[in-house]
Amino acid sequence: MTTAKSGYHHGDLRNALIAAAVELAAADGPDAITIRAAARATGVTPPAVYRHFADRDELVSAVREQVVQRLTNATRDARDLWVVAREYVRFAAAEPGLFRTIAEPVNVHDLDDVGAWSSVHGLAVLLAGPLRSWPQAMKDAAVERVLAALKRGLESTVDSTSRRAA
């Protein structure tokens, strides 16, 4: 955890608070992010936090943005949807606290995107939670099966749409 002495540097309190809140979320999930805990971790008083964040929700949003950016950076060069999906599932299993912090509903309107997201997200939740004790080989096999089923489903949707258009 960031210490009060090393975490806060004058002029960089906002980033120090976000870093502390990320560590809190990594350890114990989104409920661990509080104004008081972030202040304590950075060696400031709670009122100092409010100079940078209007409320807890704004601090949690900043944490989400940073964690999503990390995940995005990890998959930036991936040319294959399946690589991205595997990384998402791997992240959920490796960082359950951070995963729970970002696992809020997203604003998705395309039904194919909703289906793909819900399949991958659902598997990630299972592997980060009730199935976390499974051997890695079983987890990998589950990922491959879900992705294969998702691919078949998306391909059949494209095929049926093409036939209707013809």
10-12-15 Cα angle (round to 5): 150
H-assigned helices in the chain? 4-7, 13-28, 35-42, 46-49, 56-75, 81-94, 96-102, 111-128, 136-165
Q: How confident is the model at residue 163 (pLDDT cuts 50, 70, 90)?
A: very low
Over residues 14-60, the pLDDT tens digits come to 999 999 999 999 999 999 999 999 999 999 999 999 999 999 999 99
Domains in the chain: ranges and CATH: 1-76 (1.10.357.10), 78-166 (no CATH)
Q: Give me the torsion for CA of 157, 114, 78, 65, rounded to 10°.
A: 170
Give the pTM. Answer: 0.64
143 and 123 Cβ atoms separated by less than 8 Å: yes
